[in-house]
């Protein structure tokens, strides 16, 4: 599925793996906490780690995570806040380098995208963002690095930002949430979506029809298409090369998010199985 002639993998996942309510509806009864990552990584294909936003982990910790997870599973890492909350992002090169070279290589093939999440009070400053994107390293000891920018100020929903992100080849997070800008413009070689509308009264987090629709969007993205049904800040892109797709169910009714991710992954996998 990863060849250039077929769609790249589609990975559905959640944020983190330690959440007490999941011990009632996701983890098996009696599972000890130290085995939760081992279990979660075998039900899902990716997990976004929020803990790295608050502080980088030790190389030994990254290595432990890698050892507990199966081949093909990846971690997306939230970049540390001491970088994304810098007064001037374009001057954050030392902080970027400290995080990237601080042990991420211990994840090996389990290292997925790095999500640089900007705060809702940071407006679009073209020069500052351009300098920041220029400072992002593209490899670590020969291993390609994948960066994605999450923006939370409405001023980013503009053709000028989309053009700038495309010029640097950095994807923009599609955040499906009422409180943040929600635009699905394709600006890089993979797609990264954070879905934030799960509901407590839905056993699967989302209505079955909504999950069917997200599975359709995921396949369209993976096939190099740009779904016109989703909101955009700029013109649609023509069909392109297959893309890797990451879809995380985040926040909202968090207790339901593992069920939502597994339900979406099941739909994606079913649709990919030849009749």
Question: What separation in angstroms does the CA of 17 have from each of 81, 241, 250?
Answer: 20, 32, 12
Residue 153 domain-assigned (yes or no): yes
Residue 124 domain-assigned (yes or no): yes
Q: Residue 8: pLDDT band by 50, 70, 90 thresholds?
A: low
Residue 3 domain-assigned (yes or no): no
Contact 153, 181 (CB under 8 A): yes
Instruction: Please report the pLDDT score of residue 216 as a whole number.
Output: 97
Here the CATH number for the domain that contains residue 165 is: 3.20.20.410
Q: Residue 128: pLDDT band by 50, 70, 90 thresholds?
A: very high
User: Which H or E run includes 244?
Assistant: strand 244-249
Q: Residue 273: pLDDT band by 50, 70, 90 thresholds?
A: low
Structural domain containing residue 67 = 10-272
Please determine, for residue 7, whether its predicted confidence score (pLDDT) is greater than 90.
no
Separation of alpha carbons 217 and 223, rounded Å: 10
Query: How many domains, in total, are found in the chain?
Result: 1
Separation of alpha carbons 196 and 15, rounded Å: 11
Residue 1 domain-assigned (yes or no): no
Instruction: Give residue-wise pLDDT tens across range 37-49.
Output: 999 999 999 999 9
Please determine, for residue 5, whether its predicted confidence score (pLDDT) is greater than 80.
no
With a CB cutoff of 8 Å and minimum separation 6, the contacts of 93 are 135
Q: Which two tokens stand for residue 102?
A: 């601080």
Instruction: Please report the pLDDT score of residue 4 as a whole number.
Output: 37
Please determine, for residue 1, whether its predicted confidence score (pLDDT) is greater than 50.
no
Instruction: Please report the pLDDT score of residue 6 as a whole number.
Output: 42
- Quick check: helix, strand or coil at residue 216? helix
Contact 44, 76 (CB under 8 A): no
Residue 56 domain-assigned (yes or no): yes
pTM, whole model, 2 decimals? Answer: 0.95
- Quick check: helix, strand or coil at residue 248? strand
Please determine, for residue 223, whether its predicted confidence score (pLDDT) is greater than 70.
yes
Residue 192 domain-assigned (yes or no): yes
Residue 2 domain-assigned (yes or no): no
Residue 248 domain-assigned (yes or no): yes
Separation of alpha carbons 236 and 231, rounded Å: 10
- Quick check: helix, strand or coil at residue 129? helix
Backbone angles phi, psi at 201, to 5 degrees: -85, 5
Instruction: Please report the pLDDT score of residue 24 as a whole number.
Output: 85
Residue with token string 């990237």: 100
């Amino acid at each position: 599925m990863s060849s250039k002639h077929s769609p790249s993998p589609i990975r559905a996942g959640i944020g983190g793996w330690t959440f007490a309510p999941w011990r009632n509806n996701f983890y098996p009864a009696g599972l000890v906490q130290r085995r939760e990552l081992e279990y979660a990584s075998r039900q899902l294909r990716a997990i976004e780690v929020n803990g790295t936003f608050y502080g980088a982990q030790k190389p030994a910790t990254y290595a432990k995570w890698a050892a507990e997870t199966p081949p093909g599973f990846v971690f997306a890492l939230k970049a540390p806040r001491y970088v994304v909350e810098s007064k001037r992002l374009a001057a954050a090169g030392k902080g970027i380098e400290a995080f990237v070279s601080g042990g991420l290589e211990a994840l090996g093939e389990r290292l997925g995208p790095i999500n640089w999440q900007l705060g809702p009070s940071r407006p679009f400053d073209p020069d500052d963002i351009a300098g920041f994107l220029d400072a992002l390293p593209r490899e670590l000891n020969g291993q390609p690095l994948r960066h994605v920018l999450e923006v939370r100020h409405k001023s980013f929903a503009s053709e000028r930002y989309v053009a700038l992100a495309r010029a640097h080849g950095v994807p923009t997070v599609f955040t499906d949430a009422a409180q943040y800008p929600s635009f699905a413009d394709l600006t890089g070689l993979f797609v990264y979506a954070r879905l934030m509308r799960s509901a407590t009264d839905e056993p699967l987090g989302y209505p079955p029809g909504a999950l069917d629709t997200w599975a359709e969007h995921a396949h369209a993205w993976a096939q190099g298409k740009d779904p016109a049904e989703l909101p955009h800040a700029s013109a649609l892109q023509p069909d392109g090369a297959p893309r890797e797709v990451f879809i995380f169910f985040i926040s909202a009714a968090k207790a339901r998010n593992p069920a939502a991710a597994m339900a979406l992954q099941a739909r994606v996998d079913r649709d990919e199985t030849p009749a």
